[in-house]
Amino acid sequence: MTDRITTLGPNRRSVLMGGAALLATPAILRAQGTAIKFGTLTPLTGVGGTYGPSMRDAAVSVFDAVNAAGGLLGGSIEYVSEDTQTNPEAAVRAVRKLIDVDGVSVVLGTWASSVTTAVAPLCWENDVMLFCVSGADSITRLPHMGYIARTQPNSVLQIQVAGDFMLRQGSTGMAWIGPQTPFAQSSIDILAGQAEGAGIGMESLIYEADKSTYRSEVDTILRSNPDFIMLGGYAADSTVVLRDIWQAGYEGKIMGPAYAVNPSVLDALPDEVTEGVFTWEGAPAIGSTAYANVQAALGVDVVDPYSAQTYDHASLAVLAAAAAGDAGGSAIKNALRSISQGDGTEVSDALAGLEVLASGGSVNYSGASGPCDFDEIGDITGTQFLFNQILGGAPSMFERV
């Protein structure tokens, strides 16, 4: 009698079949793999957490709209969203994952200048296009070979415009108070130059972010008796500084960037503290199709400047890929200016642009944040600025320049 020995382990046939299946799998995936991968890298948490979620949603609304209308280059757009935590170290880990694991060709939406500065080298070394909303002028001076485009006016331009405004309003003694950021010192230098040109005094103080009180800092800055104070921080610290300045009995003028004196700050502070404070920002294209699209996507009446910009990032990436016939980072980089500026048909959303491109035309995209024209180093040009004044706890338009 012969005993049959049965084995429960893998036999030769099953191993061969399994192996063949495994080998075949990547081919199957490749056959479906016309998907295009874009990444959003916004501050979902941390200081920028007020903006990050809506920035991501604005960008995603473009990808969803394009996918719903038939996709891009014969495939669909896959998007991956990561969180910078408004922290350069966390952002570097996140962008490594986007590039190495997800294989994205575009990263869009970096907010804090320190974060953009940290992730930019990883992007250009890996042929990944980076769209950012950061203001520090040092960013576009990096050797990025064209892989950075920013839709936010750089800090030099922003501060010059604001300094001119302070002088126009008759300031006889300026002050700048803000946290340590990549644009703090350059802001002070620009303002000091303008003050010197106008023959007036200028005092500055760089404080440490993330403190619960700035009373001593406010005491220090008020020693010079300024009549116009510029805030240089973000929303959380500006709330504290505004309150401390008001409690100190200061009666002069104050101005801060719109991202710092934003709706959540206005909600958190009593109206009398913010009454009369000026804000300024790159003027969004209110009334454009793109702006209306972002309003609808986010379900808001007033679109914050960053969500408007990430909507444009996504649209620019889509149109550049369509114009190049290739969704790789290098192709998008090379095609960017062919769809963002020039003599093409003026379009204000990605779907309209795709139609024009499909019919063999060329496009000039102007989006929710403005004209979206870039100079040779990736800085935005032709931005208009909107000055608002806070009256009764809400921004009211003061002037547009």
Partner 1 sequence: MLDLLPQFLVNGIITGALLAIPTIGFTAIFAVLRFPNFAVASHATVGAFAGLVANVYWGLPAVPSLAFAFLIAGIVGLVSDEIALKPLRKHGALTTAIASIALTIVLENIIRFFFGNELRGYDLPLVRDTRFGDVRVNPQQLENLALAVVIMVLVFTALKYTRMGKAMRAVADNPGLADLKGIDAALVGRVVAFAGMGLVGIGGMLFGLGTSIDPLTGFRFILPIFAAAVVGGLGSIPGAVLGAMIVGVGEEMSALVLEPAYKSAVGFLAIVLVLTFRPSGLLGERAY
Residues 361-400 that bind partner 1 (CB under 8 A): none
- Secondary structure (3-state) at 202: strand
CB 63 within 8 A of CB 314: yes
50 binds partner 1 (CB under 8 A): yes
Residues 237-256 that bind partner 1 (CB under 8 A): 239-240, 243, 246-249
* Per-residue tokens: 289: 């199709």
Binding string to partner 1 for residues 198 to 227, with x set by CB under 8 A, is what? -------xxxx-xxxx-xxx-xx--x----
230 binds partner 1 (CB under 8 A): no
DSSP string, 356-392: HHHTT--EEE--SSS--EE-TTS-EES--EEEEEEET
Measured from the CB atom, is 267 or 343 closer to partner 1? 267
Measured from the CB atom, is 107 or 240 closer to partner 1? 240
Measured from the CB atom, is 86 or 364 closer to partner 1? 86
53 binds partner 1 (CB under 8 A): yes
229 binds partner 1 (CB under 8 A): no
Measured from the CB atom, is 148 or 218 closer to partner 1? 218
- Least CB distance from residue 50 to partner 1, whole Å? 5
Measured from the CB atom, is 275 or 326 closer to partner 1? 275
Cα within 13 Å of Cα(33), Cβ side: 9
Residues binding partner 1: what is the number (CB under 8 A)? 40
Distance CA 37, CA 210 (A): 36
Instruction: Point out which residues bind partner 1 (CB under 8 A).
Output: 45-47, 49-50, 52-53, 179-180, 205-208, 210-213, 215-217, 219-220, 223, 235-236, 239-240, 243, 246-249, 264-265, 267-270, 272-273
